[in-house]
Amino acid sequence: MKNLFGGPGRVSGLVMRVFQCLFAASSIGIMVSSSGFSTSTAFCYLIASMGIQFLWSFALACLDMHALRIKKDLQNHLLVSLFAVGDWVTSILSLAAACSSAGVVVLYAKDTQLCQAQKTLNCEGFQIAIAMAFISWFYLAISSNVMFWLMASS
Q: Which is nearer to a second copy, 65 or 151 (CB)?
A: 151
Closest separation between CB of residue 97 and a second copy, Å? 8
Q: Which is nearer to a second copy, 61 or 91 (CB)?
A: 91
What is the secondary structure of 96-150 as a DSSP string?
Answer: HHHHHHHHHHHIIIIIS-HHHH-TTS-HHHHHHHHHHHHHHHHHHHHHHHHHHHH
* CB proximity list for 55: less than 8 A, separation 6 or greater: none
Where on the chain is the footprint of a second copy (CB under 8 A)? 39-42, 92, 95-97, 99-104, 106-107, 110-111, 145, 148-149, 152-153
Q: Which is nearer to a second copy, 29 or 103 (CB)?
A: 103
Q: Which is nearer to a second copy, 3 or 41 (CB)?
A: 41
Reading phi first (left if > 0) and then psi (alpha if -120 to 50, else beta), residue 6 is in left
Closest separation between CB of residue 71 and a second copy, Å? 27
Closest separation between CB of residue 103 and a second copy, Å? 3
> CA angle 61-65-71, nearest 5°?
140
